[in-house]
Amino acid sequence: MSRLPVFHYGKARLTAGFALKLARGLAQGQIDEDTDSKIRQSRDAVKSIVNSGEVVYGVNTGFGPLCRETISAEDTKILQEHILRSHSSGIGAPIGEEKSKLMLILKLHALSKGYSGVSPELIERIGLQIEKNLVPVVPSQGSVGASGDLAPLAHLFLPLIGLGKLHSGGEIVEAGKVLGDMGIPPLTLGPKEGLALINGTQFMAAHGVSALERFHNCLDCADIIGAMTLESLLGSVKPFKPELHELRPYGGTRHTAYRLRHLLQDSEMVESHKACKKVQDPYSLRCMPQVHGASRQAWLHLKETVEIEINS
């Protein structure tokens, strides 16, 4: 059996398509030695701040209006657990299991860049959840997307501390029981780790990745339906010639014209009436590249936006 393609967390550029492969078990991820070293250096910087007594927001202070409240070194760990508990206030039906797993993957990639000051042990535990398919239950409502997807991410990471719920065999079960049965103890979060877990856009980004795939499928289907329509109405492929679309070379338009030429290149029906005396086809046929292409151009913009976000 061939080895699955490998993604290097925190190092390689993640595409929306490869994120879905990871979520579906069609690829595997790993953290390289140099990435691990960067993560450890970042964590050491946080430890240094705590040991020095320097006051830094999110490390040894309260949050929001309580930012002027200094937290003792002994209480910084309790604070991080409390931030997960206090923000896990989402409501509504759970998002799909695949979207929740995508959130884990996107968060692991972000934390592995070494800018968040979390421990290698925390990153290893998130990786274990992905590998073992221990997918948290995340409510669909509750994020305002302001300082990140605070509520959804809090729910996503409750299982790290033995709380929350997991998807298991089509059912929703208590995370503490599942992890306990597997011999996986709860983690004790270190300074800043709770804040690093809930600050991020992985809820929105996971929806974006999923929407990109569905949007792309719709675009491909539209081209196929258009090609079949053109065949049935004995239309011409001349409006799709590449030299025409080089005159106004929008990426989406050129791609759609190419797709239509490719789909119709062996069409006996199109070939059968090449010499007919019809002057031109209706707009809806001959302008398919312009119409479908505008939508594809929008998809390309969305893809660029989503992929910047999942690599940030």
Which residues have a catalytic role annotated?
57
Compute how many other C-beta atoms are within 10 angstroms of the C-beta atom of residue 155. Answer: 29
| β-strand partners of 6 | 28
- DSSP-assigned states of every residue in 179-198: HHHTT-PPP---TTHHHHHH
Nearest to 254 by CA among 267, 265, 241: 241
Strand residue runs (E) in the chain: 6-8, 28-30, 91-94, 135-136, 139-141, 165-168, 171-174
Can you read off the two tokens belonging to residue 295?
């939508």
State how far the alpha carbon of 62 is from the alpha carbons of 117, 161, 273, in Å.
17, 20, 76
